[in-house]
Copies of this chain bind each other. A is one copy, B any other.
Amino acid sequence: MTLAEENYLKAIYHLENQSSNEVSTNALAEEMQTKASSVTDMIKKLAEKNMVSYIPYQGVTLSKKGHAHAVKVVRKHRLWEVFLLEKLNFSWDEVHDVAEQLEHIKSEKLTDKLDEFLDFPKVDPHGDPIPDKYGNFETIDKTSLTDAQEGLVYVCVGVHDSSSDFLKYLDANHIGLGTTMKIIHKEPFDNSVKIKFDDVELVVSENVAKNLFLKTV
């Protein structure tokens, strides 16, 4: 599997998780920041290698083999993110880009030793689950802040968008994994949400609310 192929597998994996339908050529082009024609080319190649099943005009789905490979890449990505944060003192908004490179290093021994060195972490710095060496992981149950209920108390367990911009916004507002917050008010007009934590109130936009994952406490 080349770097390009692995990136496609990972993108298909993420899109399948988001909607459970077949992944369309255009959705994949959008995710990969490339052109639809390039996607068609690559899909054919992946189908040739039995990593995906593909019917022209009907989108693509990962095969068992492709799924397993995608999970391995995701595992590496998230382990490296933990390494960068815990061992090298990167902040959670800096880890993703470097992990994008490190996830393609080919050495099962390296991956498994790294896992052990990090004490077999279960989640990455953004709250996403880390598959073990067999590809198994616990699904973390979480609700988006947009779906949270007024008056209840939640703890932040993850983020949907792990872009540097969003994470820096959260840092600036002192929100992070583990932050406990009460839902004060959900404004129907613009879907903004007023939350309270550490004795301060904060109104966040719908866009922010959509990207924050919570768990009832």
Q: Which residues of A are at the interface with B, using a C-beta cutoff of 8 A?
A: 84, 87-90, 94, 97-98, 101-102, 105-107, 109-110, 113-114, 117
Would you give the shortest CB distance from A85 to chain B, in whole angstroms? Answer: 11
The answer for the CA separation of A88 and B98 in the assembled complex, in Å, is 20
Q: Which residues of B contact A110 (CB under 8 A)?
A: 84, 88, 98
The answer for the CA separation of A90 and B116 in the assembled complex, in Å, is 13
Would you give the shortest CB distance from A167 to chain B, in whole angstroms? Answer: 16
Q: Which residues of B contact A97 (CB under 8 A)?
A: 107
Given A88-B110, A88-B113, 14 further pairs, Cβ under 8 A: A84-B110, A87-B117, A88-B117, A89-B113, A90-B109, A90-B113, A94-B109, A98-B107, A98-B109, A98-B110, A101-B105, A101-B106, A101-B107, A102-B102
Give 6 closest A-B pairs by Cβ, nearest first: A88-B113, A98-B107, A101-B105, A98-B110, A88-B117, A87-B117
The answer for the CA separation of A84 and B84 in the assembled complex, in Å, is 15
Closest to A88 in B: B113
Q: Which residues of B contact A84 (CB under 8 A)?
A: 110
The answer for the CA separation of A89 and B98 in the assembled complex, in Å, is 23
- Contact call A114/B101, Cβ cutoff below 8 A: no
The answer for the CA separation of A132 and B170 in the assembled complex, in Å, is 35
Q: Which residues of B contact A89 (CB under 8 A)?
A: 113
The answer for the CA separation of A87 and B87 in the assembled complex, in Å, is 11
Closest to A116 in B: B88
